[in-house]
């Protein structure tokens, strides 16, 4: 081990070079697999960047148009955005670091080898930061470009901003890696789920109290804009806390844009000092802690924790193991559900429940949805114009549809690939792969449709929309649920990745990216088509084309959902193990 430790920089360089070579070969294989689809993905990414830049530019121009308050609003928006993105980056790094360090085949392969655990941890830390942060960089790049154009900054603002961002993303990566090791070392799966649920409920309760609507008197209603702006500035003051890394990034970017280079360099040095401090601690002191945590994870049995009531629950579960569990009893009450299909559904649900990484990502997703719902109440009290009511209603439909696409792409698409090396067992069973595919489609559609219908009905009620419009939007979401689930399952069978057991990496492949692109284009096109032919359109001239638009929407939905399912079922019937 001493010789391996002495060659530590060479080992880390070897791991980096090997993975870079593998990534380059995947890109070449993706390009050779279908040049048309690759060009479509590149076109989609470029279109998103151009559209985001234009929308950010319009938003900054609108916020800056308030006399006397424009610069203050823009400054607060930048601070608030980076504060929320810091929290999201921290959660993303926690989930990805946990999967990379303790649920990864490469890590399991490297641990028994004469490779120091420090080297394994360093490489996995670098990989986790890159995987968790590329979307952040892609998101904020159009914003910073629009901000620079709005402020009229010199050319050196852009490379300096890239340097600030490169330093910033290391800090949530370090925090996420440390939390991942802490969770793996001291919390088992059941305890983690209980603690995560308790924290989620507490955070939602605090958010509901913090985001409660502002009570305005009749005199304040006449100056409603000033009251809302004052409340906005007061409730977003937490983003100006000077010990937050997001504050250092936002202040550095704004100071550089205003020409105060000395102050901007000060915040850059603050970021650099913290990156060097925490990076040195991670690179020199976390290897042994990571190895101990990995040993605990691998050796942890079926014990559910040190708490007595957990042990009593486990004893009761062993005592009643021969009986049907609550999940089997619940699914057994579903009429027409065959026993083999019921067994497959129970297996998929239990695997999802036991996968901590997927469980944590679901918790983050629904936490963001809860924040969205809590903030939607404020919109309903401010909208009086028919045009803006219609615009916000269809924007809400688009938000609910995008959430549905996130569910189908992230959780439904990898279901077929997650069978992995066990696929031949399922394929040789009397159930057969075509029926397995249909069962997974039915399960994904049932769960995602139930969640999406609840979200669209609740959001429409918060917007005080009449029931006829609520039912219309619920019908659109229902059609989209069948389409997006059919698209995800069909493409998941057409482009399987049976060598990978990490759902995040399965989704990040060619088929998952293609599924995401098609889902996004379908949702944007459908919402725009339905909005411009809405019977509640203020112009009133589009009512005659409403039924035609719904017919086109239904036809596109059937084709986009049915064709991948048909091709996927044909592929499943001819699948070679």
502-516: per-residue pLDDT in tens?
777 777 777 887 888
Position 315 scores a pLDDT of: 55
Lowest-pLDDT range of 195-204, 206-215, 331-340, 358-367: 206-215
Alpha-carbon distances, residue 24 vs 28, 101, 133 (angstroms): 6, 23, 19
Position 165 scores a pLDDT of: 92
Comparing 535 with 178, the larger pLDDT belongs to 178
| 102-143 pLDDT, tens digit each | 878 888 888 888 888 889 999 999 988 888 888 778 778 888
Rg of the Cα atoms in the chain: 26
DSSP string, 387-419: HHHHHHHHHHHHHHHHHHHHHIIIIIGGGTGGG
Q: How confident is the model at residue 556 (pLDDT cuts 50, 70, 90)?
A: very high
Q: Work out the mean pLDDT of the chain and round it to a whole number.
A: 78
Helix locations, 152-188, DSSP H: 157-168, 170-186
What is the pLDDT averaged over residues 59-71? 76
Comparing 296 with 171, the larger pLDDT belongs to 171
- Burial of 476 by CB count in 10 Å (0-12 exposed, 13-18 middle, 19+ buried)? buried
Query: The whole model's pTM is what?
Result: 0.72
Comparing 34 with 110, the larger pLDDT belongs to 110
With beta carbons less than 8 A apart as the criterion, state whether 119 and 18 touch: no
Share of the chain above pLDDT 70, in %: 76
Query: What are the E-state strand segments in 86-189?
Result: none
Asked whether residue 266 carries a pLDDT value surpassing 90, the answer given is yes
Lowest-pLDDT range of 146-160, 208-222, 265-279: 208-222
Which tokens hold the place of 288?
Answer: 């042994």
The alpha carbon of residue 29 and the mean position of all alpha carbons in its chain are separated, in whole angstroms, by 26
With beta carbons less than 8 A apart as the criterion, state whether 250 and 82 touch: yes
Q: Which range among 13-17, 75-79, 152-156, 483-487 has the greatest average pLDDT?
A: 483-487
C-alpha angle 485-330-348 in degrees, rounded to nearest 5: 40
Q: How far apart are CA 404 and CA 229, in angstroms?
A: 32
The alpha carbon of residue 402 and the mean position of all alpha carbons in its chain are separated, in whole angstroms, by 11
- Burial of 429 by CB count in 10 Å (0-12 exposed, 13-18 middle, 19+ buried)? middle
Q: How far apart are CA 233 and CA 92, in angstroms?
A: 28
DSSP string, 282-301: HHHHHHHHHHHHHHHHHH--
Phi-psi domain of 502 (left: phi exceeds 0; alpha: psi -120 through 50; beta: other):
beta
Lowest-pLDDT range of 61-75, 94-108, 171-185: 61-75
Specify the 3-state DSSP secondary structure of 455: helix
Asked whether residue 486 carries a pLDDT value surpassing 90, the answer given is yes
């Amino acid at each position: 081990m001493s010789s391996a430790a002495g060659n530590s920089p060479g080992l880390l360089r070897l791991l980096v070079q090997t993975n870079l070579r593998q990534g380059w070969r995947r890109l070449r294989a993706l390009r050779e697999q279908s040049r048309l689809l690759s060009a479509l993905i590149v076109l989609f990414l470029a279109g998103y960047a151009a559209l985001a830049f234009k929308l950010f530019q319009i938003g900054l121009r609108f916020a800056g148009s308030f006399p006397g308050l424009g610069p203050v609003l823009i400054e607060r928006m930048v601070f608030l955005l980076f504060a929320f993105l810091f929290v999201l980056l921290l959660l993303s790094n926690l989930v990805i670091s946990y999967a990379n360090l303790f649920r990864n085949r490469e890590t399991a392969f490297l641990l028994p080898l004469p490779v120091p655990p420090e080297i394994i941890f360093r490489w996995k830390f670098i990989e986790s930061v890159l995987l968790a942060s590329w979307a952040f960089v892609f998101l904020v790049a159009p914003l910073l470009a629009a901000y620079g154009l709005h402020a009229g900054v010199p050319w050196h603002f852009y490379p300096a901003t890239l340097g600030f961002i490169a330093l910033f993303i290391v800090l949530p990566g370090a925090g996420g890696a440390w939390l991942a090791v802490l969770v793996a070392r001291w919390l088992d799966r059941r305890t983690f789920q209980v603690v995560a649920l308790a924290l989620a409920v507490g955070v939602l309760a605090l958010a509901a109290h913090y985001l409660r609507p502002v009570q305005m008197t009749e005199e304040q209603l006449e100056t409603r804009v000033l009251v809302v702006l004052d409340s906005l500035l007061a409730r977003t003051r937490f983003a100006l806390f000077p010990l937050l890394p997001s504050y250092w990034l936002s202040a550095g970017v704004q100071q550089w844009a205003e020409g105060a280079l000395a102050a901007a360099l000060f915040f850059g040095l603050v970021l650099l000092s913290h990156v060097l401090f925490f990076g040195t601690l991670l690179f020199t002191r976390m290897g042994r802690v990571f190895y101990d945590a990995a040993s605990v994870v691998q050796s942890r049995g079926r014990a559910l924790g040190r708490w007595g009531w957990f042990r009593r629950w486990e004893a009761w579960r062993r005592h009643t193991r021969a009986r049907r569990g609550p999940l089997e009893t619940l699914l057994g009450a579903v009429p027409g559900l065959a026993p083999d299909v019921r067994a497959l559904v129970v297996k998929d649900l239990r695997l999802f429940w036991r996968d901590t990484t997927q469980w944590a990502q679901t918790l983050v997703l629904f936490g963001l949805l809860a924040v969205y719902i809590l903030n939607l109440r404020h919109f309903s009290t401010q909208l009086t114009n028919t045009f803006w009511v219609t615009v916000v209603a269809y924007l809400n439909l688009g938000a609910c549809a995008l959430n549905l696409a996130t569910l189908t792409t992230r959780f439904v698409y990898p279901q077929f690939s997650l069978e992995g090396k066990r696929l031949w067992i399922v394929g040789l069973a009397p159930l057969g792969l075509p029926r397995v595919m249909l069962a997974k489609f039915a399960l994904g559609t049932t769960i995602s449709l139930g969640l999406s219908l609840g979200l669209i009905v609740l959001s429409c009620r918060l917007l005080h929309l009449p029931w006829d419009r609520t039912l219309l939007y619920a019908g659109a979401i229902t059609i989209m649920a069948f389409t997006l689930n059919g698209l995800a399952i069909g493409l998941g069978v057409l482009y399987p990745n049976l060598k990978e057991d990490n759902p995040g990496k399965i989704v990040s492949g060619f088929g998952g990216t293609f599924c995401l692109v098609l889902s996004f284009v379908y949702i944007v096109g459908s919402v725009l088509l339905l909005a411009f032919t809405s019977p509640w359109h203020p112009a009133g001239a589009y009512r005659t084309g409403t039924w035609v638009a719904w017919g086109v929407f239904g036809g596109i939905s059937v084709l986009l959902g049915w064709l991948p399912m048909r091709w996927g079922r044909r592929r499943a019937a001819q699948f070679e193990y």
